[in-house]
Amino acid sequence: MHVEKRSEFFIEQSKDPKMANLIHRVLDSYANDDWRGISSELQLSPSDVVVDIGGGKGALLEEIGDSVSARVLVDLPEVIDLVNFTEIETVSADIFSDEIPTGDVYLMSRILHDWGDSKCIELLYRIPKTARLIIIDRIAEPEKHGLLSLNMLLLTGGRERTHSEWMAIFSEAGWSLTAQSTWASHAIMHLEAC
Task: Give contact residues for ligand SAM (rule: CB under 6 A).
Answer: 10, 27, 31, 54-56, 60, 75-76, 79, 94-96, 109-111, 114
Residue nearest to ligand SAM (CB): 54
Our CB check for ligand SAM shows the closer of 79 and 140 to be 79
Q: Which is nearer to ligand SAM, 37 or 143 (CB)?
A: 37
Instruction: Name the minimum Å distance from CB 120 to ligand SAM.
Output: 12
Quickly list DSSP for the chain. Answer: --GGG---HHHHHTTSHHHHHHHHHHHHHHHHHHTTT-GGGG---TT-EEEEET-TTSHHHHHHGGGSSEEEEEE-HHHHTT---SSSEEEE--TTTSPPPP-SEEEEES-GGGS-HHHHHHHHHTS-TTSEEEEEE-B--HHHHHHHHHHHHHHHS---B-HHHHHHHHHHTTEEEEEEEEETTEEEEEEEE-
Catalytic-residue membership of 113:
yes
Which is closer to ligand SAM, CB of 94 or CB of 171?
Answer: 94
Which residues are tagged catalytic? 113
